[in-house]
Amino acid sequence: MFNFLVTQSLKSRLFVLAIAAVLMIYGAFTVTRLPVDVFPDLNRPTVTIMTEAEGLAPEEVEQLVTYPLEAQMNGLPGVSRVRSTSGVGLSIIYVEFDWDTDIYRNRQQIAERLSLVQPQLPANVVPQMGPINSIMGQVMLIAVTGPEGVSPMELRELADFTVRPRILSIPGVAQVIPIGGEVRQYRVSPNSAAMRALGVSFEQIEQALAQFGSNTGGGFTDQYSREFLIRNVGRTQNIEDLAGVVVATVEGQPVLLRQVADVSFAARLKRGDAGYQGQSAVIVSVEKQPNVDTVQLTREVEAALSEISATLPEGVKADQVLFRQANFIETSISNVQKVLAEAIVVVAIILFAFLLNTRTTAISLTAIPVSILVTAIVFHLLGLSINTMTLGGLAIAIGELVDDAVVDVENIFRRLRENREKGNPRTVFAVVVSASQEVRSGIVYATMIIVLVFVPLFALSGIEGRLFAPLGQAYIISILASLVVSITLTPVMAYYLLPGLKRLDEHEGVIVRVLKKANRQLLDWSFGHPKILMTTVLAGVIAAVMFATQLPRSFLPPFNEGTLTINMLFNPGISLAESHRVGLIAERLIMEVPEVEQVGRRTGRAELDEHAEGVHSSEIEVALTADGRSKDEIIADIRSRLSVLPVATNVGQPISHRLDHMLSGVRAQIALKIYGEDLDAIRGFAEEFRGKLDEISGIVDLQVEKQVRIPHLEVIVDYRRAALYGVQPASVTEQLERLSNGTIVSRIVDGNKRFDVVLRLEDETRSTKGLADLLIETPVGWIPISQIAEVRETDGPNQILRENGKRRVVVLANTDGEADMATVIAEIRSVIAASTLPPGFFVNLEGTFQAQEESMRTIGLLSILSLSMVFAILYSRYRSVLFVSIIMASVPLALIGSVTALWIAGQPLSVASMIGFITLTGISTRNGILKISHYINLAIQEDMPFGRELVVRGSLERLTPVLMTALSAGVALVPLMIDATAPGKEILHPVAITIFGGLVTATVLDTLLTPTLFLRYGRKPLERLVEQARSQIEQINSPRGTPASAIEAF
């Protein structure tokens, strides 16, 4: 088939050139339309169920809300894990599905289950599904600040009713979440003593408020020959109007609301606050929908912020971007694009240095832009995006994109020279066709092997599969595109450009001549000392395997996002005001670090947030400058400065934290989970484990999840005393819920603004003494609560976390970046094995290391299968176990260089380096295929007898293409090997290190080992192939007279 394509392409030369031009133009157009993101889609199908149960304590939330919902969710098909958090008045459940499930079908199933569980939940408690968003969904954090004259209420109203609606209107925005400031409410605080004196009940106040400020319709009327719409207007925003509402009529006299209650503007009870640059502020988080171009969306949001800023009051700023994910994306993409450009230049220099001919260099280089642009077209058709991984795949493939073309051009050039030396007995068409066909088989089989060795990559599950599969897709698509180019476009360009050269006979430069001379001398030595060579190589392979097992392990290299995320935890029980005050101090301490540009903080939970963070928890975003100390030094400085505060800190980066959270459910690399039902006992075990883990070197940010007991104020109704006053205990607790927690009884509309009218006791009354003295209505009159209930101070859990139906507490930690993750995990497992827990309690160790271990096992097992398939394909071609073994001997040769390079570079054995070795397997076998095929072709096509002359000639004739392809592939990776911490290069750097080191040893040793093994053991297999070929020639020539060249070349 491929021979047919070569022939037809040369017959339709203008058509091939036209198609190539069209593909390049369309590809260039397509590139500009591909979505851009930092990583491929890493979203695990997860549905968040949020249920507000205002006023309920965590234990009631768990029993009445979380447990019934969990029971329904655990039975859904495809569910892999159910996590929940029961906090104060809030239940959040995370339902995680398998990677291959459809998120919309998952949501439909959950919606059906929610309708079934609704009757089991308390009244007015309605669970809701959170919006579909992305793990990389938080694209921006915007600080809204104002001068001293602007109150927190005014600032929050600008964020809620000006900034938020405008950003939400932008396509692709999933959610906009403000936190900080104060949400305005119309607060009505009843005075029970005045109510008793005037004979007014709570129900009368609620009824009057429920009817306040509403408009009604009156239909239509006709007058003056026109139709009038009747509108009954009762709406008002004046708080004096609210205070003057009549709530009852006593003895013919109206009782106004102000007589029985205090009416004022007040801030809604909040569970979160925010700061920016050491001052109180409102922080607005912008979340994007999945599969949305982050860079384009960010630009649209910034344009909207510019429009909004022009309409804001003087001094108010809403365009201060604290976190901008697009910065990391743009920097990463720019760095990898620069790598691509540098790689192309390096490849061009190498090709010219070997070929010393602008035409042959130009023909070979044409494969790069054509292949890349064809890859862009395929990406567009498959719905893939431009990201660091797809660009990384292209960067790794750059040097190999010219391989097929180089081999083809070099062989065509050589055959044209030989034809000219013989007086041009054959036409240019015939020479180009035969020369292309001569090397085509080896190129095609080498490309097939490259595709096969990537099978383990596409079989990876989880986040590692989602991360690296696009790299493999880009690599394979571009390699296959370069194969098609070498079969079609390369022969056509060679046909037009090479025959007209005046000096075909002087194409070898000084470099090539020197290398061939040195190669001949090395071959002479190798042929004379084969045992020394093979023993040395075998010892090197054994040493490489031993050293590989001693390499430190990690899942993924650390990112360099240019931003830090610091989780700061107080002991639960701290008030929001105090947590906010100390948070502002922390901001100012961090601002003293020279490399810090901006600092913003979110404490507690925003009203629309999907996380149940308590007021003891703060998340600080720190934007860093590009210059200065290393990231590790900056983090150490920040840890040192924050150590003076009574907080536990966990320092990471935004995307890294989200990846950790997706893998283990906590924002840390290591999560030791203790399960059971007795929270106090679980906490005790967790503290014991924390103490033991503290002795392990390499662990930082070690802490126990903040599930502790906090102060509670309990009102316990005495059933007997309540019966004496003729009151039911349920009516007492119901009154207390409405008054203490607050009840929204009406809503005032002011344009697009909405303000709640809330009936709630004053803060002074919501104390231990105030509640005891609170007067409530009974059938026998007004009495203080202390007459029928005990008001006492006690304690209870601040929140309850569950996973897969069991309560759990987590001991979480990170590594210091220097310690070997595998060693740390081994020590932790030893601690767990040495610990014994009572029945009903158990421990589970989770984290990023799990993904690393699973991916290593998967790659290892599937690599065996992949290599078996490679062996089968090569055997189907060469029909010789020996020849196939010689070709595949390049793989262990590459291992020597890869392991050495990782040791020198100080890189751990990670999923990224394993991907590099997978790539290297395909590249390294190509050299052996080219050499073995050429030895066979020389014996069959030119009747050369087996011996030293055949091996030397074949090796020297293949030296130039082998070295050019190896150097092109290797040196093209050098830009990725420089500045390993640059954004975009972090994951690709270990891949490049692995491939480069392996290419060096595989190419150098293969130059000696393959010819030596072929000469020592290859006589019988070669003679068998020659005999089979001659038999085929005789069968073909006898009936038809077809020339011997019809035999397909190896």
Which position has the higher pLDDT, 686 or 410? 686
pLDDT for residue 1042: 43
Q: Which residue has the tokens 């249920």?
A: 51
Fold matches, 44-133 and 184-199+206-267+711-797: no
Nearest 5 degrees, angle CA 959-CA 961-CA 965? 115
CB neighbour class for 1020 (10 Å; exposed up to 12, middle 13-18, buried from 19): exposed
pLDDT at 1033 over 80: no
Q: Report d(CA 12, CA 3) in Å as an integer.
A: 14
Is the predicted pLDDT of residue 617 greater than 70, yes or no?
Answer: yes
- Measured distance CA(73)–CA(188) in Å, rounded: 40
Residue 431, pLDDT above cutoff 90: no
CATH code linked to domain 508-550+880-1050: 1.20.1640.10
DSSP codes of every residue in 526-564? HHH-HHHHHHHHHHHHHHHHHHHHHS-B-SSPPP--SEE
Q: CA–CA distance from 971 to each of 40, 351, 475, 912, 992 (Å)? A: 27, 12, 17, 19, 10
pLDDT digits (tens, 9 = 90+) for 441-452: 777 887 888 888
Smallest CA-to-CA distance from 52 within 72, 66, 71 is with 66
CA quadruple 716, 720, 726, 729: dihedral positive or negative?
A: positive
What torsion, rounded to 10 degrees, do the Cα atoms 800, 802, 808, 814 define? -100
Give residue-wise pLDDT tens across range 919-941. Answer: 888 888 888 888 898 899 889 88
Residue 281: pLDDT over 90: yes
Sign, CA torsion 455/459/465/470: positive
Instruction: Count how many residues are written for the chain.
Output: 1050
Q: Is the pLDDT of residue 1047 over 60?
A: no
Q: What pLDDT sits at residue 686? A: 92
* Phi and psi torsions of 422, nearest 5°: -90, 5
Task: Compute the chain's Rg from CA coordinates.
Answer: 37
In this structure, the dihedral spanned by the alpha carbons of residues 613, 614, 616 and 618, taken in order and rounded to 10 degrees, is: 30
Task: Read off the pLDDT band of 1041 (50, 70, 90).
Answer: very low
Task: Indicate if the pLDDT at residue 1037 is higher than 80.
Answer: no
Q: What is the pLDDT of residues 32-61, one digit of tens each?
A: 888 887 778 777 888 999 998 877 889 999
Q: What is the DSSP annotation of 586-610?
A: HHHHHHTSTTEEEEEEEEE--TT-S
Q: Is the pLDDT of residue 697 over 70?
A: yes
The β-bridge partners of 792 are 714
> Tens of pLDDT along 718-741?
999 999 888 898 888 888 888 888
* Mean pLDDT (the chain, rounded): 86
State residue 1045's pLDDT score: 44
Which tokens go with 691?
């103490």
For residue 851 the two structure tokens come to 């993904």
Does residue 669 have a pLDDT over 70? yes
Listed in sequence order, the DSSP H helices in 261-387 are 294-309, 325-355, 358-365, 367-382
What is the side-by-side strand order in the sheet with 282-288? 173-180, 282-288, 138-145, 317-324
Q: d(Cα 937, Cα 438) in Å, to the nearest integer?
A: 8
Q: Which pLDDT tens digit goes with each residue over 635-668? A: 889 999 999 999 888 888 887 777 766 666 677 7
Parallel/antiparallel/unpaired status of strands 753-759 and 184-190: parallel
pLDDT of 615 strictly over 80: yes
For 100-104, 373-377, 814-818, 835-839, which range has the lowest pLDDT when averaged over its residues? 814-818
Q: DSSP state, 107?
A: H
In the predicted model, is pLDDT for residue 1043 greater than 50?
no
pLDDT digits (tens, 9 = 90+) for 147-205: 988 899 999 999 999 999 999 999 989 889 999 999 999 999 999 889 888 988 888 89
What pLDDT does residue 805 have? 86
Q: Say what the pTM is.
A: 0.77
Q: 115 CB contacts (<8 Å, ≥6 apart)?
A: none
Confidence category of residue 524, pLDDT binned at 50, 70, 90: very high
Query: What's the CATH class of domain 184-199+206-267+711-797?
Result: alpha beta
**pLDDT tier at 79, thresholds 50, 70, 90:** very high
Q: Does the pLDDT value for residue 1049 go beyond 70?
A: no
User: What is the per-residue pLDDT across 896-920, written as a single tens digit (0 to 9) for each?
Assistant: 999 999 999 888 888 888 888 888 8
pLDDT of 476-518, one tens digit each? 999 899 989 988 999 899 888 888 776 655 556 788 888 889 9
Q: Which of 441-455, 569-583, 825-839, 1033-1047 has the lowest mean pLDDT?
A: 1033-1047
End-to-end CA distance of the chain: 15
How far apart, in whole angstroms, are the C-alpha atoms of residue 933 and residue 883?
Answer: 10
Residue 383 pLDDT greater than 90, yes or no? no
262: left (phi over 0), alpha (psi -120 to 50) or beta: beta
The residues, ordered by sequence, that sit 6+ positions from 648 with a Cβ below 8 Å of its Cβ are 568, 569, 701, 703, 706
Burial 211-224 (b: 16+ CB within 10 A, else e): ebbeeeeeeeeeee
The domain at 44-133 falls in which architecture? 2-Layer Sandwich (3.30)
The crossing angle, in degrees rounded to 10, of helices 911-941 and 428-453 is 150
Cβ-contact 994, 913 below 8 angstroms = yes
Residues 672 and 675: their CA atoms lie apart, in Å, by 10
C-alpha to C-alpha distance for 23 and 315, rounded to whole angstroms? 54
Per-residue confidence (pLDDT) for residue 886, from 0 to 100: 93
Are 43 and 288 within 8 A, CB to CB?
no
Token pair of 118 as six digits: 């609704």
| β-pair partners for 747 | 756
Which pLDDT value is given to residue 1009? 92
Residue-level pLDDT at 662: 66
The distance from CA 634 to its chain's CA centroid, rounded to whole angstroms, is: 24
Token representation of residue 236: 């008002």
* Contact in structure between 964 and 354 (CB atoms under 8 Å): yes
Q: What's residue 1044's pLDDT?
A: 41
Query: Would you call 358 exposed, middle or buried from its count of C-beta atoms within 10 A (0-12, 13-18, 19+)?
Result: exposed
What single DSSP character describes residue 1022?
A: H
Q: Which amino acid is at 1038?
A: S
Torsion of CA 758, 760, 764, 765, to 10 degrees: 170
Average pLDDT over residues 836-845: 91
Percent of all residues in the chain with a pLDDT value above 70, rounded to a whole number: 96
Mean pLDDT of 578-603: 93
Backbone conformation region of residue 454, classed left if phi is above 0, alpha if psi is from -120 to 50, else beta: alpha
Instruction: Estimate the share of the chain in helix, then strand, then coil, as percent rounded to the nearest 5.
Output: 55, 20, 25
What does the block give as tokens for 227? 């139709």
Report d(CA 765, CA 763) in Å as an integer. 5
Looking at per-residue pLDDT, the higher value among 578 and 612 belongs to 578
Rounded Cα gap, residues 59 and 49, in angstroms: 18
631 pLDDT above the threshold of 90: no
- Residue spans of the domains in the chain: they are 1-33+356-505, 44-133, 184-199+206-267+711-797, 508-550+880-1050
pLDDT band at 823 (very low <50, low <70, confident <90, very high): confident
pLDDT band at 689 (very low <50, low <70, confident <90, very high): very high
Whole-angstrom distance, CA of residue 443 vs CA of residue 111: 54
User: Is 612 a residue whose pLDDT tops 70?
Assistant: no
Name the helix (H) or strand (E) containing 1016. Answer: helix 988-1017
pLDDT (mean) for 986-1015: 90
Q: How is domain 1-33+356-505 classified at the CATH fold level?
A: Multidrug efflux transporter AcrB transmembrane fold (1.20.1640)
pLDDT digits (tens, 9 = 90+) for 307-320: 999 899 988 999 89
Whole-angstrom Cα distance, residue 443 to residue 436? Answer: 10
pLDDT confidence of 216, banded at 50, 70, 90?
confident
Tokens of 347: 């490849």
- Smallest Cα–Cα separation from 291: which of 385, 380, 378? 385
| Residue 814 identity | N
Largest CA distance in the chain: 129
Beta-bridged to residue 670, according to DSSP, are 813, 847
Q: Is the pLDDT of residue 340 over 90?
A: no
Q: What is the pLDDT of residues 92-142, one digit of tens each?
A: 999 999 888 889 999 999 999 999 999 999 888 999 998 877 777 788 999
Instruction: With cut-offs at 50, 70 and 90, classify the pLDDT of residue 423.
Output: confident
What is the C-alpha to C-alpha distance for residues 886 and 879, in angstroms, rounded to an integer?
13
3 state SS for 835-895: CCCCCCCEEEEEEHHHHHHHHHHHHHHHHHHHHHHHHHHHHHHHCCHHHHHHHHCHHHHHH
Beta bridge partners of 808: 675
User: Lowest-pLDDT range, 263-272, 343-352, 1026-1035?
Assistant: 1026-1035
Band of residue 853 on the pLDDT scale cut at 50, 70, 90 = confident
